[in-house]
Amino acid sequence: MPIIKRIDHVAMVVEDIEGALAFWRDALGLSLELLQEVPREKSAIAFLPVSGVEIELVQPTSADSGIAKYLEKRGPGMHHICLEVDDISAMLAQLKEKDVQLIHEEPVIGDGGRKYAFIHPKAAFGVLMELYELP
Ligand code: ZN
């Protein structure tokens, strides 16, 4: 059986990353580990670690991106929670077997060889869930 190892990150959608950093970095005092544009995803992201778990801020950089549409529809706020699993393919197979609705039926290969997939929020009682398998 595949095993959930830990929470990897919690992601928030924001309209303006710099504005959001005034809260997360400057007011709360979290350290900013990474701030970069991701042209492939038409977004900018910031990572602020909290003892092994990352707070991720995502800002759309183009009006036609999925994340921009999400922001327009729902406004800023919580976007998804990401769980690290030891074997993402086995976990996706297990979820399919249990008729859990998935956004990605197969793992997607991301930066640095990490594998990820999203579970549909309908299946997780309104929460968009991401799975990670780190290389
Ligand atoms: Zn994520």
Can you give the residue range of the structural domain that contains 10? 4-133
Distance, CA 26 to ligand 1 centroid (Å)?
23
Distance, CA 63 to ligand 1 centroid (Å)?
20
The tokens 């930066």 sit on which residue? Answer: 111
pLDDT of residue 111: 79
pLDDT tens over the chain, length 135 residues: 999 999 999 999 999 999 999 999 999 999 999 999 988 889 999 999 999 999 999 999 999 988 999 999 999 999 999 999 999 999 999 999 999 999 999 999 987 899 999 999 999 999 999 999 999
Q: Which CATH number do you get for residue 44?
A: 3.10.180.10
Q: What is the DSSP letter of 66?
A: H
Distance, CA 82 to ligand 1 centroid (Å)?
6
Q: How many domains are there within the chain?
A: 1
pLDDT of residue 110: 86
Which of these, 135, 56, 53, 129, lies nearest to 92 by C-alpha position? Answer: 129
Distance, CA 8 to ligand 1 centroid (Å)?
8
Question: Measured in Å, how far apart are the chain's first and last C-alpha atoms?
Answer: 19
Distance, CA 61 to ligand 1 centroid (Å)?
17
Do strands 4-13 and 34-38 pair parallel, antiparallel, or not at all (unpaired)? unpaired
